[in-house]
Chain A
Amino acid sequence: MAYYIKTVDSTWLKQRIPGFIICILFAFSILFTRLFYLQIIEGKEYRRLSANNCIRLRYINAQRGLIFDRNSNLLVDNRPSFDLSIVLKDVKNLEETIEHLSLKLGISQSVLYKKIGKGKEQVSYKPILLKRDIGRDVLAVIKANKHVFSGLKINIRPLRHYINKQSAAHLLGYLGEIDLKELNSGKFPDSKIGDLIGKFGVEKSYEKYLKGIRGGQQVEVNASGQVVRVLKKVYAYPGHNVFLTIDADLQQQAEKLLVGKAGCIAAMDPSTGEVLALASSPAYDQNDFVVGMSHKQWDLLVSNPGRPMENKVIQAEYPPASTYKIVTAIAGLEENVIDTKTTVYCPGHYRCGDRTFRCWKRGGHGKVNIVQALSESCDVFFYQLGQKLGSERIARYSRLCGFGEITGIDLANEAKGLVPDPQWKKSRFGVSWQIGETLSIAIGQGYNLVTPIQLLVLTAAVGNGGVRYKPVIIRSIVSAEGKKIKGYSRPEPLGRLPVSKETIDIIRKGLWSVVNTRKGTGKIARIKNIFVSGKTGTAQVVSRKKNEGDPTASHLKSHAWFISYAPDVNPVISVVVIIEHGEHGSRAAAPLARDLMNSYLKKKGILGEKSEKK
C-alpha cells in the first residue's frame, strides 16, 4: 500500500491539471485585456495614426571617423554634399524653373524632364532627385532666388573627402555601397540597403571603429509628409578617429618618386614595425568613388595594365631576385655550410650537370667570400651555396624568414607569396624537382614569389638585429570626444630570424658593403654623413627562353628591387622599393630609397658623423 501511494500514476498527475488550467486562463485573460485595450479603448487614436502611415522613421547618419597621419595631419574627413531635388506640387512655373536649372547645372532640359517624368505618376509631394552634390555656386544662386526657384529642395548629406588627392589611396582605401552578400553575412547588423561601408584599405579594416552609431527619429507626419512632432529620438554618435603610423610628408614623397612608374615603395620603423609610408603606383583618386564613377572611368581603372586597384605592397607577388640571397646566406651560415673564410672563384658562370648558369657579371667576380658575394651580388657564389644546401633547407629558412605566409598587416587581401620545394612542385605540376631549380631558387629566381611587405619585414629584422615585427598601420584610435579607444603602443613580434649573433653580423656587414664599398652594387644609395645598408635585386620577368620575345621590350624588362635600412646601426627607417620593368635594382630602385631615407633622416634630425667601420 505504501508503495502504491508513493509512486506516481495518472491519477496522481491528474490532480495537478486544475492548477495548470488556472495559469493558462490567467495568461489568456491578459491577452484579451490587452487586445481590448488596443482595439476598443485606444482604437480611435491608432486608426488616426494609421491614416497616412503617420509614424515614420527618419535616420540621422553618424559622422564617419576622421583619419590622421602619425603627426596628426588630417588625411580624410567628411564634407557636405548638397543634393538638389524638386517637389512638383510646389513649383510655380515648371518650364521656367527647368530652363534656369538646365543652365546652372549644365544638364540639358530633356534630361531634367526625363528625371521628372519618371516620378510623375507618384505622389507629387515626393521630392525627385535632380542632381547629387551640386556646387556651392549653384547652391548660392538657388538660395538667393528662392522666390523664382520655389519647389526646389536641398538635402545635405555627408560625403567622404580624401584631402590629398590620390595620396595613400591604397592604404586609406575607399567606401562603397553595402552589397547583398555583406548584408546577409550578419557582420553588419546595423546596416541597411544603400549604406556606405569601407570596401578597401583602412576604411575596410577599421570599419567598425570609423562608422559610428546611426541615430534617428520616430516622427509623426501629416498628409503632405511634413513632420508634425518628434515622438522619439536617438542621437547619432560619430565614429572614432583613427591615427595612422604613416608620415604624410614621407608618403607624399614616396608617391612623387613613383610618378610615371608602376611599382611600390614602403617604409617601416625597424624597431617597432610601424609603417611610415605605403605607396603603390599607379594609384586612383578615392574621391571618384565618393561621387560615383562612370562606366568608362571604371573600365579604365580595371583595364589599366599598371593595375591601379591593387595595393602592390601587400597584394603583388614578385620573384625576390638577389634580395633573396640574404635568406640563402643565412641558411648557409646557420647550417655551417660556409663561414666567413669560405671563398668561391667566380669566372662568370657555373656549370651544373649539362647546364651552364651565368653570373650577372660576364667577366666574373674572381675570388669572393660571403660578404663580397652579398656586396657584389655574385650569383656563382650562391649557385654553389644553394647546391650544397639543397632546396628543402633553403625553403625551411625561407619560411622562418617569413616568406610563404602573410605578415598579418591589418589590410585585406594580403598575398602569401610562394616558397617552392620539391613537394610543392610534385603536387602542383606532377613532375619532380631539378637540381637546376635549386640554383635558381638560391638567387631568388624561379618559382619564388614574395610580396614587398614580406621583404620589408625581413629587411627591418636584419636592421634591428633579428626581430621580425608585424607591420602596424595604426597608432591609436580615439573617440570623437578624445577618449582613447585603442592604442598600439607595443610592437608585436612575429618571431625571430633564424640567426645567431655572428650570422646576423655577417649579413649586416654584407648589406653595409653593398652600399659603402667600391664594388658594391648599391653604391648609388649612399647618403652623406650616414651609413646606409641595402641589397639590390633584378627580377627576371620571363624565363630565358629565346622565343618569348625581345627582352628589351618594356613589358619584358626585369623588375628592379632595392631594400635598405639606415643608419646601419640602430636604424630608424627601412625601405623596400620595387619598380616594375625598371631593369636594374641599382639604377631604377636604389636612388628612390635613398631619396626617401634622406628626407626622413633629415626630418628626424639624424645627421651624426659617420662611425668608423671595422
Chain B
Amino acid sequence: MFDQHLERHFKWGLLIVTFLLCLIGLATLYSAVTAGGDEVSQKVLYIKQMIWIGSGFIFLIISLLFSYKRLEKWGGVIYFGCIVLLIAVLILGKVVGGSRRWLVLGGITIQPSELVKIGVVIMLSKYYSKKNDIGGLTMKELIIPLVFVVIPFLLVVKQPDLGTGLVILLIASSMTMFVKIEKRALSVIVSLLTVIVPLVWFFLKGYQKQRILTFINPERDPLGAGYHIIQSKIAIGSGMISGRGFLKGTQNALSFLPEQHTDFIMSVLAEEWGFIGAGITILLYLILIILGLNVAHNCRDSFGLILAIGIIALIFWQVFINVGMVMGLMPVVGVPLPLISYGGSSVITTMLGISILINIGTRRFAVEE
C-alpha cells in the first residue's frame, strides 16, 4: 500500500510528539472534568475527546495515501468551503453564551472558525508559491492575500470570536513575512499603520476604548477577566516544582477556574504536574515546531515549504497565546491549546495540520503523480 519512500521517510518524531501531547491532554482533561463533581455530562466530554483524537489519527494515516501536492489544486475549493461554512454559522449557527460559533451537522457540532485556519494556510501557500520573487511582495501583490484573510477574519469576528480572528491574522502575517515583503511595501505598511491606529483610536467611543484597554490589560477588570487571570495564576503558581499530583488540584476542583477544560486547561495541568509537567509539555510543543521546521527545511518545492511554515505558525501562535494568557502575559481571548484543550474542531484542525506536515516530510522525494 505505502511505497518504500513512505516507509523510509515517515516522520516518526512528529507522530510520537503528537501522540504524547494527546496523552497529556487526555489525562489533564480527565482531571478537569472529574474534579468538578460526578456529573455524567462532564465525563461525556472526556469520551468525546478520545473519539476526536482517535479519528484524528485514523485520518492522519488515511491522508498519507494522497500527496499534499493535491492540496495545491484543491486549495481554492477547500478555502471556499470554509467560507461557506462560516457564512452558514452566522445564519444557522447555535448561540452559546452570546456568540454564534457552532454549526450542528447531523448530530455533530463543528466550529468552522477552527477549520478556516487551515483553509487560509493552504490558500496563502498556493498564492505565495507562485507569485513571488526574491525582492519580496509588492503592495499590489499583497492585495489578493489581504482579501483572502480579511474575509474569514471579518466573518469570525462577527460571531464574535476575536481570539480566533487574531490567530488567523497572526498566521497570515507570519507566512507573509516569511516569503518576504518588499522593503518599500513594508515601509508603506508600517507608516500606514502608525497613521491609522491613532486615528481609529481617536474616533472610538469611550466605552470601546475601555474595552480594548481591558482586553490588553485584564487587570483593569478585576471582577471579570482579571479575576480569572488571578485564579489561573494561583493555580499555576501553587503547582510549584512537582505539582499537587494527578486529580489533586484544588483550584480546579472548586470550579474557581473558568473554562477549565477548554481555554484554561493549562492551569489545571500546571497545578497538578508542577513546573516539571508544564515545562515538559511546553518543551514538547517546541520539539513539535522544530521537527516541523525540519520538514520545511527538507522540502523541495515552495508550495510544500510555505505550507509547512503556515502550519507551524498555526500551532505556534495558539500555544504562545494560550499559555501566555493563562500565565497573565496575554489578553484573555478564547484560543485553545492545540491537542490539549477540549474541542473536536480544534483537535481535528491540529491533527489535519500535523498530518500535512508528516505528508510533506514523507513525500518530499515522491515523484509527481
Contacts and interface: CB of A to CB of B under 8 A. Distances in A.
A233 B96 CA distance: 30
Contacts of B328: 34
B279 A35 contact: yes
Given A13-B306, A20-B309, A31 B239 contact: no
A35 B270 contact: yes
A146 interface: no
A55 B236 CA distance: 14
A215 B324 CA distance: 28
Nearest to A216: B223
Contact of B275 (A13, A30, A40, A231): A40
B234 A55 contact: yes
B33 to A, nearest CB: 19
Given A216-B222, A218-B222, A46 B95 contact: no
A39 B270 contact: yes
Nearest to A189: B98
A13 B301 CA distance: 10
A185 B97 CA distance: 7
Contact of A40 (B96, B240, B297, B306): B240
B237 interface: yes
A291 interface: no
Contacts of B133: 6-8
Interface string B225-241: 01100110111111111
A5 B135 CA distance: 10
A156 interface: no
A551 B7 CA distance: 95
Contacts of B222: 216, 218, 231-234
B132 interface: yes
Interface in B132-147: 132-135
B300 A186 contact: no
Interface stretch (A21-29, A263-271, A538-546): A21-29
A189 B160 CA distance: 13
B238 A53 contact: no
Contacts of A28: 282, 285-286, 320
B109 interface: no
Given A8-B132, A20-B178, A55-B230, A50 B251 contact: yes
Interface in A445-477: none
Interface in B193-244: 222-223, 226-227, 230-231, 233-241
A27 B316 contact: yes
B290 interface: yes
B220 to A, nearest CB: 10
Nearest to B303: A10
B348 interface: no
In terms of DSSP, what is the predominant structure of the interface of chain B? helix
A548 interface: no
Interface residues of A, number: 51
Given A5-B134, A35-B270, A40 B241 contact: yes
A8 B223 contact: no
Given A10-B300, A35-B278, A47 B237 contact: yes
B97 A17 contact: no
Nearest to B180: A16
A36 interface: yes
Contacts of B297: 14, 17
A42 interface: yes
A21 to B, nearest CB: 6
A13 B305 contact: yes
Given A14-B305, A40-B240, A232 B179 contact: no
In terms of DSSP, what is the predominant structure of the interface of chain A? helix
A38 B234 CA distance: 9
Interface string B108-141: 0000000000000000000000001111000000
A232 B230 CA distance: 11
A59 B306 contact: no
Contact of A43 (B240, B306, B309): B240
A16 B297 CA distance: 10
A547 to B, nearest CB: 51
Contact of A59 (B223, B236, B309): B223
A125 interface: no
A39 B286 CA distance: 20
B289 A39 contact: no
A43 B179 contact: no
Interface in A176-209: 184-187, 189
Nearest to A55: B230
Interface string B284-316: 011001100100110111101110010010001
A32 B282 contact: yes
Contacts of A55: 227, 230-231, 234
A49 interface: yes
A43 B239 contact: yes
B316 A43 contact: no
A46 B233 contact: yes
Contact of A10 (B98, B134, B305, B327): B305
Contacts of A38: 233, 236-237, 270, 327
Contact of A46 (B96, B99, B134, B236): B236
A59 B297 CA distance: 55
B223 A6 contact: no
B225 to A, nearest CB: 12
Given A20-B293, A46-B236, A13 B324 contact: no
Given A10-B299, A45-B237, A218 B230 contact: yes
Contacts of B98: 184-187, 189
Interface in B238-278: 238-241, 250-251, 254, 256, 270, 274-275, 278
B234 A39 contact: no
Contacts of B320: 27-28, 31
7 nearest A-B pairs in the assembled complex, by CB-CB distance: A186-B98, A46-B237, A43-B240, A50-B238, A232-B222, A8-B132, A39-B275
Given A13-B178, A184-B97, 18 more contacts: A10-B300, A13-B302, A13-B306, A14-B297, A17-B296, A20-B293, A25-B286, A28-B285, A31-B282, A34-B327, A35-B270, A43-B239, A49-B234, A49-B238, A53-B251, A184-B95, A189-B98, A231-B222
28 contacts: A6-B134, A6-B135, A10-B302, A10-B305, A13-B179, A13-B306, A17-B293, A17-B296, A17-B297, A28-B282, A31-B327, A34-B324, A34-B329, A38-B270, A39-B274, A40-B241, A40-B275, A42-B237, A43-B238, A43-B239, A44-B240, A46-B233, A53-B250, A55-B231, A57-B227, A184-B95, A184-B96, A186-B98
Interface of B: 95-99, 132-135, 178-180, 222-223, 226-227, 230-231, 233-241, 250-251, 254, 256, 270, 274-275, 278-279, 282, 285-286, 289-290, 293, 296-297, 299-302, 304-306, 309, 312, 316, 320, 323-324, 327-329
